[in-house]
Amino acid sequence: MDLAAARTDAAQDVYLAVDLNGQPTSKIAHFRLSQGRLYANATDLEEVGLRIDRLGAGATREVLLDAIPGLRYRYDAARQAVDLTVPDALRRPYTIDTRALTEAPAATSSRGLYVDYDLFAPSNSGQPIAFGDEARYFTPSGVLSHSGIAYLSGANRRYLRYDTSWSRSNPAAPSTMQIGDTVTSSLSWSRPIRIGGFQWRSNFALRPDWVTFPVPALYGSAVVPSSVDVYVNNVKQYSANVPGGPFIVNNVFGITGAGTATVITRDALGRTVSTSVPMYVDSRMLAAGLWSYSVEAGLLRRDYGLESFSYDRRPALSGSVRHGLSDALTLEAHGEGTRGMIDAGGGALIGMGQAGVVNGALAASAGRFAGIQASMGYRLIQPRFSIEAQMTRAYGNFGDLASSDGALVASATDQLTLAVPLMRRQSVSLSYIGSKCAGTLASRIGAVSYTLNAGHLVSLNLNAYTDFKQHRASGLYVSLNVALPNSVSASASNGFGHGRVDTTVGAIRTPDYSGGWGWGVQAGRMGGAAFEQTQVQYIGNAGEATVLAQRTGGVAGASLDLSGAVVLMDRSIELSRHIDDGFALISTDGVGGVPVLHDNRLIGTTDRSGHLLVPDLNAYESNEIAIDSMRLPANAHVGATSMSVTPQARSGVLARFGITRYAAASVILRDSHGALIPAGSLVHDIESGNDSIVGYDGIAFIDDLRPDNHLLVGIGAIRCAVQFAYTPAPDNALPTIGPLTCESLTEARQ
């Protein structure tokens, strides 16, 4: 460095343009020059691209540049600039997020009510007519939901309630609170149970922009600004440009289990550098520092699906928590209890790099059910094979909340699965499941499955199983599926098990998602009885209808199934298909026949009241909704033709496109001599106060008209006036009025 000209006994503050390794940073930083040496605040150095954790100083401490190992600099007093030369280890790497998911806007909800329904009406008098419903009243502060089924015919006519609850979600946490009927949390080594009471749990579904499992980062360095291509298992997944220096590629997607990620950098001269890194991803683990939790308290639900209100009188408590201690270690804990019984345990998932993930847990119970449960497992997914094994053992009289309801814990459970792909279109899997529970027969079932895909048109599946603990408990199942033109698929299957042969053949055409007709035919022999079945299905915007006719063992029957939803919102009643998540009600302020698009796909037109319901939107994600303004009436004006809506789960959003009506007309003006008013003349509307300009052919467009209108027109030094009446056109067209004679004000004064 050359600081001879800058040496002085007095310290001075200087503001210098900073170059980093010969590349401009476009930043000006504050330095202190003393005795020919430069000092800088650590925070300022971080701003220009240095890693503050490698400087050996606090964020606000002044650092002597000469004291930073590996850093060299040259001070140019004439240019008031400094060029820093540092190794990659001292530079703050440029970060790339390959998922590139931006945080969705805050989710909203309007106020309304909708009922999903399913009506099943059989022709057989021995089967009752059933009406199932799931109603939800949604507001910006939460959702009140209720579900049940009504039996409308037969001897046992009644209404059976399933679940009733109120829930509220907070995407910022993200968490969900629910009061009423719910299901307790569970881990892989515990069991869920229905409960009526309170639940507070983390809910990562509220933040689709989050990556909750560990994804290894890829590191690289570019000497000069370069392009970067990321390949996963030889498939290109992402491209970006990076500046010179180190960089990090985060959230590499396209990997489940083991794989290889390759980073290729290419500079302006075409020079390339390729780096391959083995990776392993297991979505069961939590990223370092991430927590998930669930807490429930209330009364255990009894006889669900049989009784509407049957709860245990003893209060119960349940809770689970998971924490990503590091990218290679996820800790788990679960506890639950009620009067006379308590159990608790802990576990962990340990990542072993390319060798897979090991998991284990140990739990103990006391009270009416006293014992210990231990479990351990292993999962490895490789491109050429995958293996998963899980073993659980219960000792003593181990129990949990489900045990108090009569569902005893199995004393031994074993599971082993091995899958091997063969060539490109075939795969073979072997599996073993063993279970032993007090009071029941033990089972040890082994199975083998073979799959062949001949392109996208033909698939063959073969499955065989046997129970090593039971005599003659073996079976073989073969199925063939063929895709035909016009969305038709044909299938044939043959199965042998428990001393009987089942055979079916059939063809089906499913309706398109946009709506339409579908059909299906099937015949064969099941359980020793011959059967034939035919169905016709129709899907429309207002719901779905299915008519089924069948004959089994010589007995004929038919049924009608109607399903859909009724929505009450924006003072209107709308019919729709089943609503599973978020939806939007489009309003065009009473203008019907307006085409509506979802993600640039036409989904329908507004009805006479100017409404169209758009189901199947992704909750807590941005959904693009637009209207085709070219189909609006000529006198209609809309401020915006598209908007982004982000509905809450199980809620609707009112997407209103504000449409106003023009009270306007094209007025043809001529002077008192019959000549057209020249283009560019100023027109002033006395009633509205608006100004406009005369165009070609003496035509002026006048808006905000009244039943009686007066215009002042300027033609150079000459002024004239015109008066006319306006009546809106019955077909909403913009009328043309005139020609009108503009009487000269100058002549009138003379």
pLDDT digits (tens, 9 = 90+) for 140-159: 999 999 999 999 988 888 99
What's the one-letter identity of residue 343? D
The whole-number pLDDT of residue 461 equals 93
* Residue located via tokens 């569902």: 407
3-state secondary structure 307-322: CCCCEEEEEEEEEEEE
| 143 closest CA partner among 185, 186, 113 | 113
**Radius of gyration, CA atoms only, the chain:** 37
Note whether 411 and 396 are within 8 A (CB): no
pLDDT the model gives residue 296: 96
Residue 351 confidence (pLDDT): 93
Of the ranges 41-45, 373-377, 502-506, 653-657, the best mean pLDDT one: 373-377
| 744 within some domain | yes
Mean pLDDT of the chain: 87
**Residue 103 pLDDT more than 90?**
no
Mean pLDDT across 330-339? 95
Number of compact structural domains in the chain? 3
Mean pLDDT confidence for 161-165: 96
The answer to the question of residue 225 being in a domain is: yes
Query: Any idea what DSSP says for residue 406?
Result: T
Q: Which of 62, 91, 120 is the last residue of a domain?
A: 91
Q: What CATH number corresponds to the domain at position 723?
A: 2.60.40.2070
- Domain presence at residue 268: yes
E strand or H helix at 747:
helix 745-749
Output DSSP code: residue 641: S
Identify whether 67 is part of a domain: yes
> In whole angstroms, what separates CA 86 from the centre of its chain?
43
Taking the CA of residue 548 as centre, how many other CA atoms within 13 Å lie in the half-sphere pointing to its CB? 17
Single out the residue of 160, 156, 129, 157 nearest to residue 561, CA to CA.
129
Paired sense of beta strands 245-250 and 94-97, if any: parallel
Please say which residue of 61, 91, 121 terminates a domain: 91
CB atoms within 10 A of CB 362: 13
CATH of the domain at 67: 3.10.20.410
Other beta carbons within 10 Å of 324:
21
In a domain, 199, yes or no: no
Cα–Cα distance measured from residue 497 to residue 500, given in angstroms and rounded to the nearest whole number: 6
**Is 706 within a domain?**
yes
Query: Is 2 a residue whose pLDDT tops 60?
Result: no
Q: What is the pLDDT of residues 183-218, one digit of tens each?
A: 999 999 999 999 999 999 999 988 887 888 888 777
User: Is residue 710 one of the residues assigned to a domain?
Assistant: yes
- Read off the pLDDT of residues 249-283 as tens digits, 9 standing for 90 and up: 776 766 778 888 888 888 766 778 787 778 888 88
Structure confidence by residue, pLDDT tens digits, 32-42: 888 888 888 88
Range of the domain at 684: 665-749
205, part of any domain = no
Asked which of 43, 71, 91 is the last residue of a domain, the reply is 91
DSSP letter assigned to residue 92: P
What number of other Cβ atoms are within 10 A of residue 681's Cβ?
Answer: 21
- 396 forms bridges with which residues in the sheet? 371
CA–CA separation, 208 vs 239, rounded Å?
22
List CB contacts of 300: < 8 A, sequence separation 6 or more: 193, 194, 195, 196, 311, 312, 314, 316, 338, 401, 404, 405
**Pair 150, 593: CB distance under 8 Å:** no
Q: 10 in helix, strand or coil? A: coil
> What's the whole-model pTM score?
0.79
Work out the burial of residue 240: count CB atoms within 10 Å of its CB; fewer than 13 is exposed, 13-18 middle, 19 or more buried.
Answer: middle
Question: Tell me: the pLDDT tens digits for 403-430?
Answer: 887 888 999 999 999 999 887 788 999 9
Task: Single out the residue of 548, 573, 570, 567 nearest to residue 559, CA to CA.
Answer: 548
What is the identity of the amino acid at 51?
R
